[in-house]
Structure 1
Amino acid sequence: MKGDGPGWGNKGHHCGTSSKPAPDPPTTTPQEGLRPQAKENPGIARVPAWEFAAGGILALLPAISAVNEMTRKAFSVVGFLLILLSCFVITANQAFPGSIALFPVVGTVLVIAGGTADSPVNWLLGARPMQWIGDRSYSWYLWHWPAMILIAAATGIDSPWLGLGIGAATLVLAHYTFLKIENPVRHYRPLKVKGPSATYAFTSALLAVAALVAAGVFAVGTEKSMNADIQKWNAVREQGPPAACPTKRTTKTGQAYCVAGPENAAKTVMIVGDSHAAQWVPTLAAIAADDGFRLVIRTLDACPAAEVSVLANGSPNKACAAFHASTRSAIEDIRPTVLLTANSDSYLGQITSAAGKVPTADEQAALWSAGMTSVIQSARQVGAEPASIEDTPRPIGDAAICVTRPGGSEDECTPSVEKAEADVAVLKDTERALKIEHVLSFDDDLCDKSTCKISDGGTPVFSDQSHISQAWAATQKGTIRALVREALSATSS
């Protein structure tokens, strides 16, 4: 599915330069190196209780009705502007709900607080078409989200036009359910209660039933979470991005980089790439300490080692272009013994031409080939031996969420070879055609003729929809060491 992306999503970060994937952009500066972004709490943070509470608190404030007309006009206008602003400040990079939800929530509270003040906002919201949509808005809200999620998951299409089409179709459903279900139930005479006491009693009964249902769901979830396999996957879900910048340094020409292992070592291995390179850094750092070589790290989230122009959120990723230029300078300054590249191979559809347009798949593959060739040439010009860690196959969506959801299991979440390779096959084949001598591929280890594993010897392979878990990366230490030693020995022969 497109958009699984080369970046860490809400876990974005980078090391070695400034600036989602291209989909996810980075969230650190070169001097900061690699650090995890603040993680969304898997439980309470996703429950918008405080948002509902804001409306409840407003309803309980008697002083609101005493506010003068001019102030209420200001409330309406400022609130409406905050709601509009939220359309631009809230992006896919941010955990939601979270503090960023203050924009639409405070905006809505202010519009409500403005009441019926004679303002342009009330003229707009009081128009008949807006009233019609408002009557059906809750039904529309309930319909649109599951429809978008399920259809996108079933089709693998990530397109704003699909979203708009689903939105229009669910408005039709909302209109029907508003007329045939919502209104009839709301006005059903036996459900009507008279007087405050009856209202409170009826509401309390509903809350008690809801609490019992929630307790049952919680008990079932808790029982499942006690399963040893589920605990391992839960631990993976809580895993942040790897700490991939042990020490920060700058070259003589001012290029930022990170380093691990003995800094005065005779040999240097330099790893370059996106978050799919960064995921290997802790393992490589341990090998560097054991084997006595210096590890230099140059990674940028959502920016491949291949010198190609890519999109980030639909726009050219200017930070990536700067990263490529500064990486070339860093290679010249550091003159590594081995240049190790690693990146996501799911950039197809994000690679652009010099004109900034996304060309055909074949043309993108040609650009990728030229971009990788350029990196290899930069390495060879300074006497470095090129090596590469291939991208892994892909799970079905987020493997950790798939396994730990109600009814989930490793067997159910294991992809076929076709699905696992669908997003990475074209660019992976393009890289293989370059015939880099020292290449590590995990395809044979993770896949048989029909399926690709998401758990290897009881260890979860993936932490999300594309990145590997640090637990599994650690199990590959011997394999990675063999690749590095092979490349290093080639420079001595």
Structure 2
Amino acid sequence: MASAGLPHLAPAYRPDIDGLRAIAVGAVVLHHAFPQAFPSGFVGVDIFFVISGYLISSIIIGQLQAGRFSFRDFYARRIRRIFPALLLVLVACLGTGWLMMTAAEFKALGRHVLAGTLFVSNFGFWQEANYFDESAIYKPLLHLWSLAIEEQFYIAWPLLLLVAYRWRALPWLIAGLLLASLVLNLWLVRTDTTAAFYNPAARFWEMMMGAGLAALQLRSGHPGAAWPRWLVHITSAAGLALLAFVFWRLTPAHAFPGKWALAATLGTTLLIAAGPQAWPNRILLAWRPMVWLGLISYPLYLWHWPLLSLAHIEVGRDLPTPLLLGLVGLSVVLATATYLGLERPIRRHGHRLGRPLVGVLTALMVAVAAAGGWVYQQSLKVDTLPALLTTLQTKGGRSAVAEGWRDGDCMLDYNLPPSAYKAHCVEERRPLIFLWGDSHAGSLYPGFKALQDSGRYSFGLGERTGAICPPILGHDPRPGCQALNDDTIALIRRTVPDVVVLYAWWHEKAVYGRYDISGLEATVAELRKAGVPRIVLLGAVPYWKENLPRILLRLSRQLDRRGRLPLRLGDDHLDPHVKQATAEMRQRAAAMGIEFISGMDYFCNAEGCLTRLDENATEPLSYDYGHLSVPAVTYYVEQIAPQILGQR
């Protein structure tokens, strides 16, 4: 979140800090617009956190030293600084959402607006986040999670500072909170990355880095005042180099925040500590264009993500580069207009209006909160859609995607231990068909279960699947996956299934980092050593560029004369890597001498890939980018059953 600058900086205004804001907001905006070209830009938020902790603590400690700190004045300044631009963006999102969004999307937007006005967005998105959560790009207010964490910090920190200052325990308070929060973060990064990201207690240490520096400087003097000049320059250069290293090496596949956020916040702290006279600070960070970008960083942060998100909702996941550049430019224009027309006048004259202005802004925020809550509670938009699209509007998310998967019993999240697998995941009946793989393998279970219940075939079912865990033995960047797979191969050695079916999103690379499937051949060799007589490798079913329901909802604006959606879609809507991955896996299976079945063969032809089983179907082929819906997986398993179980 672009840290909100304050009208009373202590000890003096530093243009280099605005330049540091420019680096942070520029990194975030470029990452959101061009994630492949700037994969590490999200760390800009952590830079903002340090700046916020430094500035806020400088102000409060300085006022405590002068004996003039006031909670009322502090929060009044926060309201004058934060509320105006936020109100403008929230109202704009509601208005645009009414025009552009489907009923379900608009309802979700109302919930997010309400959370944004209450500064609890981080908790809301934390609750929503899971492996099957809707893609982040379709949530126009997702970026408010960081603003929420900052405001939660501002609620607790002034009171804690006041108590610690009066008891002369300020160093102990800062050191204790920083260490406790950092330890919690490092632990959560290994056990629950979503909590590590959204939990304020696991992020406060980043603000404490800045707070600790502020306390030291206000005790010993201005930044770098007593330092040799060479040390000032080296400190700044070291901080800049550390930030550059993080930007160069960090990717979304790395565990975060953790040590990478620690490196980024340390680099930021060094840059601030070096002071405005350090050569990099004076020449680079205090450069006028950098300072200007820093001054508009807060409204720029607020505007850029809704513009990008709404464009993706309207156009699709793959936006052309010229459009992305135009959206970034429009973000800068809107941020500049917001700063010049709203923020700067209020900053200059807001204190004269005093309580009336604060009261008006608070009343407006309450009104927007009520509007968001009303949108969430009421069905304000009614869509006239075919039966299929009505289903897409009312049924979705994890409940639809994972229907009947035995999620939490036989398919585990990758951070759960193997002991969480239930005994009923492997039946004693023979022949035993054993499903091993990631969530895509888990999605096949309802189809095999329906086939088993039909009585057409007699067989037992075994399953060991793990979200984002391909069935590959050996090192995995997710330690939980390695533990699940090691336990699974041990179980296979004990039970010796008649058929092991291996399936995963073999070319996965967009969400959690590309799977390393180089160990597939070694895994197959281990299965043979275990005595498994047949090994079947499944290739991909149709994987789409974005969630299939979203593609269909967008196409609903272009229904044919009969009011029908296209039954098949061509390569322009498919994941561009799926056909190449299918060919590669077919070749590898042949080289290993194991059987291969391609799902593409059953759902695709020269005219394209099915979006649903037939014209009258009321459920799509999948509710996301590629996990088959229950009707689709039931059909698919019926088709491949003769190859796996023999002709009947």
Whether TM exceeds 0.5 here: the answer is yes
Find the counterpart in structure 1 of residue 467 from structure 2. 301
Question: What is the CA-CA distance between 1:40 and the residue it aligns to?
Answer: 3.8
Taking the TM superposition and a 5 Å limit, the aligned residue runs for 1:57-136 are 57-58=155-156, 61=159, 64=162, 67-68=165-166, 70-78=168-176, 94-95=193-194, 100-105=199-204, 108=207, 118=218, 123=223, 124=269, 125=272, 127-128=275-276, 129=281, 135-136=295-296
Cα distance change of structure 1 residues 486 and 78 upon mapping to structure 2, 3 Å threshold = same
Alpha-carbon contact 2:303-2:334 (below 8 Å) kept: no
Alpha-carbon contact 2:410-2:463 (below 8 Å) kept: no
Cα distance change of structure 1 residues 335 and 57 upon mapping to structure 2, 3 Å threshold = closer
Aligned residues: 417
Q: Which amino acid aligns with 1:476?
A: V
Alpha-carbon contact 1:72-1:115 (below 8 Å) kept: no
Counterpart check, 1:237 vs 2:397 = yes
Cα distance change of structure 1 residues 376 and 432 upon mapping to structure 2, 3 Å threshold = farther
Find the counterpart in structure 2 of residue 281 from structure 1. 445
SS at match of 1:341: strand
Structure 2 residue corresponding to 1:462, chosen from 595, 615, 622: 622
Find the counterpart in structure 1 of residue 433 from structure 2. 269
Question: What is the CA-CA distance between 1:278 and the residue it aligns to?
Answer: 1.2
Q: Which amino acid aligns with 1:431?
A: M
Question: What is the CA-CA distance between 1:292 and the residue it aligns to?
Answer: 4.0
SS at match of 1:459: coil
Find the counterpart in structure 2 of residue 206 from structure 1. 364
Find the counterpart in structure 2 of residue 333 from structure 1. 494
SS at match of 2:536: strand
Stretch of structure 1 that moved more, 187-196 or 297-306? 187-196
TM-score by length of 2: 0.49
SS at match of 1:460: coil
Cα distance change of structure 1 residues 81 and 416 upon mapping to structure 2, 3 Å threshold = farther
Question: What is the CA-CA distance between 1:463 and the residue it aligns to?
Answer: 3.3
Alpha-carbon contact 1:259-1:294 (below 8 Å) kept: no
Find the counterpart in structure 2 of residue 386 from structure 1. 535
Structure 2 residue corresponding to 1:343, chosen from 487, 504, 507: 504
- Structure with the higher fraction of residues in helix conformation: 2
Cα distance change of structure 1 residues 208 and 271 upon mapping to structure 2, 3 Å threshold = closer
Q: State how far apart, in whole Å, the 1-side matches of 2:627 and 2:213 are.
A: 48
Alpha-carbon contact 1:271-1:299 (below 8 Å) kept: yes
Q: State how far apart, in whole Å, the 1-side matches of 2:343 and 2:572 are.
A: 49
Find the counterpart in structure 1 of residue 23 from structure 2. none
Question: What is the CA-CA distance between 1:182 and the residue it aligns to?
Answer: 1.1
Question: What is the CA-CA distance between 1:268 and the residue it aligns to?
Answer: 1.2
| Unaligned stretches of 5+ residues in structure 2 | 1-33, 37-125, 134-138, 224-268, 412-417, 560-564
Q: Which amino acid aligns with 2:541?
A: T
SS at match of 1:187: helix
Find the counterpart in structure 1 of residue 633 from structure 2. 476
Q: Percent identity?
A: 13
Taking the TM superposition and a 5 Å limit, the aligned residue runs for 1:327-476 are 327-347=488-508, 350=514, 367=518, 370=521, 374=525, 377=528, 381-382=531-532, 384-400=533-549, 416-417=570-571, 419-433=573-587, 434-435=589-590, 440-449=597-606, 451-456=608-613, 457-468=617-628, 472-476=629-633
Q: State how far apart, in whole Å, the 2-side matches of 1:281 and 1:233 are.
A: 25
Stretch of structure 1 that moved more, 186-195 or 438-447? 186-195
Question: What is the CA-CA distance between 1:294 and the residue it aligns to?
Answer: 1.7
Find the counterpart in structure 2 of residue 34 from structure 1. none
Find the counterpart in structure 2 of residue 54 from structure 1. 152
Find the counterpart in structure 2 of residue 29 from structure 1. none
Taking the TM superposition and a 5 Å limit, the aligned residue runs for 1:158-173 are none
State the Cα deviation string for residues 29-77 of structure 1 (Å, max 9, x = none): xxxxxxxx9754989x967596465256348859827833743334444
Cα distance change of structure 1 residues 107 and 234 upon mapping to structure 2, 3 Å threshold = farther
Q: Which amino acid aligns with 1:277?
A: A
Cα distance change of structure 1 residues 328 and 455 upon mapping to structure 2, 3 Å threshold = same
Cα distance change of structure 1 residues 111 and 215 upon mapping to structure 2, 3 Å threshold = same
Question: What is the CA-CA distance between 1:195 and the residue it aligns to?
Answer: 3.7
Alpha-carbon contact 1:83-1:104 (below 8 Å) kept: yes
Alpha-carbon contact 2:189-2:196 (below 8 Å) kept: no
Q: State how far apart, in whole Å, the 1-side matches of 2:160 and 2:425 are.
A: 65
Alpha-carbon contact 1:395-1:415 (below 8 Å) kept: no
Cα distance change of structure 1 residues 394 and 182 upon mapping to structure 2, 3 Å threshold = same
The structure showing larger relative contact order (alpha-carbon pairs under 8 Å, at least 6 residues apart) is: 1
Q: State how far apart, in whole Å, the 2-side matches of 1:245 and 1:232 are.
A: 25
SS at match of 1:387: strand
Stretch of structure 1 that moved more, 317-326 or 422-431? 317-326
Q: State how far apart, in whole Å, the 1-side matches of 2:535 and 2:551 are.
A: 37
Question: What is the CA-CA distance between 1:451 and the residue it aligns to?
Answer: 4.1
Question: What is the CA-CA distance between 1:156 and the residue it aligns to?
Answer: 10
Question: What is the CA-CA distance between 1:452 and the residue it aligns to?
Answer: 3.2
Q: State how far apart, in whole Å, the 1-side matches of 2:625 and 2:603 are.
A: 15
SS at match of 1:67: helix
Cα distance change of structure 1 residues 187 and 298 upon mapping to structure 2, 3 Å threshold = closer
Q: State how far apart, in whole Å, the 2-side matches of 1:100 and 1:122 are.
A: 33
Find the counterpart in structure 2 of residue 20 from structure 1. none
Q: State how far apart, in whole Å, the 2-side matches of 1:200 and 1:413 are.
A: 56
Question: What is the CA-CA distance between 1:459 and the residue it aligns to?
Answer: 0.7
Alpha-carbon contact 1:258-1:298 (below 8 Å) kept: no
Question: What is the CA-CA distance between 1:334 and the residue it aligns to?
Answer: 1.8
Find the counterpart in structure 2 of residue 163 from structure 1. none
Alpha-carbon contact 1:274-1:303 (below 8 Å) kept: yes
SS at match of 1:336: coil
State the Cα deviation string for residues 264-283 of structure 1 (Å, max 9, x = none): 42321112222211111233
Q: State how far apart, in whole Å, the 2-side matches of 1:418 and 1:405 are.
A: 14
Stretch of structure 1 that moved more, 427-436 or 267-276? 427-436
Cα distance change of structure 1 residues 323 and 64 upon mapping to structure 2, 3 Å threshold = closer
SS at match of 2:381: helix
Q: State how far apart, in whole Å, the 2-side matches of 1:62 and 1:71 are.
A: 10
Cα distance change of structure 1 residues 351 and 59 upon mapping to structure 2, 3 Å threshold = closer
